[in-house]
Chains A and B, each alone.
Chain A
Amino acid sequence: MERTRKVMPIREAIQQFVPDRCQSLAVGGMHMHNNPMALIREVIRQNKKIKRLLTSPSADINADLLLGSGLVEEILTAYVGFEHLGLAPNFRRAVEKKTVKLLECDEPFLVYGFQAGAGGLPFIPYPKGLELNDLHKINPDLYRFTTDPYTGEQVMTAAPLRPSVALIHCQEADPYGNAIFKGGEFTDRQMILAAETVVLQVEKIVPDLVAKYGATRINVPGFLVSALVEAPYGCHPTSSHTYYRDDEEHLKAYLKACKSSESWAEYLHRHVLDISEEEYAATIGRGRLDSLRSEGVFE
């Protein structure tokens, strides 16, 4: 019997592995880096409803685009913003106008949560002092307290997180889904470990990945990956470490487009709804994309 190759067209990957009403969708990437934008745009094209969106500790356009598309019912996050470029317009609008339910948490809630989800741990207790901020007061259901059996003191806990689907970007993978983060991995590996289903996009499928890097550098095993999509420039307008920088000009244009409903609709149609993902690069321009390429210092 042949080993199953997991590579498939992006349309099929999202059709097959993201339910039409997805209970919880996690999106990888941190700030304007390694966001799995090709997969996210395809989710929007296929009009998949998301009951709960989960992010890394610092989401960016990955969450903001989904929020702007109106598909998200609630979001569990510790940050959505554009770092030095400013606030996230769709996030801010959706929260202020209450068109999305915000489950606001801190960074450890997500990271401890993914670790607990991955390992079947019932919860992870917080270090003392992290209950001193106000987050648990607005989120009594999220942040629950228990008694530390060793000291008898009250401790705050993080609940396990097990996203139904995680959308993740790695730089390269072999056809069986074994993959490498060539630059930063942020908290994407925790998401992969915790999710029930992982859809992975990569810049390049490399058949002899282990021969190229050695197995110790391949930090995503294929058995955790359900579907694999080759999506060159698939993080644009965010960066893909070692491949290309983030497109700051495009990110600024996005922020500007979010200012009015007309310009937002135009952006969404032009770069998402009216095209297939294979046509996305043409909406940006191949020359422009190539000008973003990194020097490849980590080869």
Chain B
Amino acid sequence: MSGKGYSGEKGLAKETGNPKGAGRPEGKGDAGERGYSVAELMAAVMARHLKDGEVAVMGAVSMIPMAACRLAQETHAPNLSYIAGGSGAVNPHLEPLVFSSCAEENLRADAVLPLADVILLEGHGQRFSVFFGGGLQIDKYGNCNLVCVGDWYNPVLKGPGTVGLPFLPRAGRAVLYTTSHNARTFVEKVDFNSGPGFLDGPETWSRQGLPGEGPALVVTPLCVFDFEEQSKVMRLKSLHPGVSREEVMGNTGFKPVLPAEVPTTPEPTLSELAILRRLDPVGVLRNLV
């Protein structure tokens, strides 16, 4: 598994050229005056989106979704369950957070499923409410690509592969994220569709009669998108503190739906931050983005 929540892997972000400035507000780390890191803000956004009683599943390099699930469990969603990547671990009791989705630390958990069972359940169609995904590229309809940049037969960049992302259409809804918001990640149309979102738009999507709702939310270092109900095109939902519309537009390779009023993403509260810092004393999230 593993497959699931791929978002900008370290090498990928570099290789696809993350322009300086993308990933603001203000770079990495403890983020000085702001008092929280971008990754912590992203985790708080995802946590608030999760509902009590839901079941979430994610893949490799899923530090932010894992922190989000832990945060949600410790605030409004004590009955949320989540499965950590290829480990098959259900509700890892991770303190501190670890980088690898398959590290032994994940197995201190409520239960551990054999991975084949997780893959079986991913096909079920009603078991998993939320699937965290991402990719080298994400397009305006929320389709993801972890396979290659350019033509598959002559790739400009060979990506690592798609693992479990093809299960995205079987989940209740998809939450997409990336740690590198730039015009190479957010493209008009993915070069290779390895994690389907709304496909070519509302007509092709509705024709499939799939069990889930499709992509619901996209969380980036600059902003949050959702999807317009009719057109299924990504819509700017909120701008992170200090980020302008122009900055988002300049780093997005397609034209998202732009409402007249776009609110600012609420900052992590002091109590959310206290929980995140307790879960993550070594600062995985503080040093990520």
Contacts and interface: CB of A to CB of B under 8 A. Distances in A.
B158 A84 contact: no
A31 B161 contact: no
Given A57-B163, A91-B158, A108-B166, A31 B102 contact: yes
Contact of A246 (B100, B124, B165): B100
A130 B1 contact: no
A132 B199 CA distance: 8
Contact of B104 (A77, A129, A245): A245
Contact of A129 (B115, B157, B193, B208): B208
Interface of B: 1-3, 9-12, 14-15, 60-61, 63, 86-88, 99-104, 107-108, 112, 114-116, 119, 122-125, 146-147, 152-153, 155, 157-167, 169-170, 192-196, 199, 208, 210-211
A189 B114 contact: yes
Contacts of B14: 86
A78 B63 CA distance: 21
Interface centre among B114, B170, B211 (most CB of A within 10 A): B114
Interface SS of chain A: helix, strand, loop or mixed?
A: loop
A88 interface: yes
A151 to B, nearest CB: 12
Contacts of B3: 57-58, 78-79, 106-107
Provide the main secondary structure of the chain B interface. loop
A62 to B, nearest CB: 13
A239 B104 contact: yes
Contact of A107 (B15, B164, B170): B164
A84 B10 contact: yes
Interface in A85-130: 85-88, 91-92, 95-96, 104, 106-108, 111, 115, 126-130
Interface stretch (A41-49, A180-188, A281-289): A180-188
A291 interface: no
Contacts of A107: 1-3, 119, 162-164, 166-167
Nearest to A88: B160
A246 B105 CA distance: 12
B169 A184 contact: no
A78 B236 CA distance: 33
A129 B168 CA distance: 9
B104 A83 contact: no
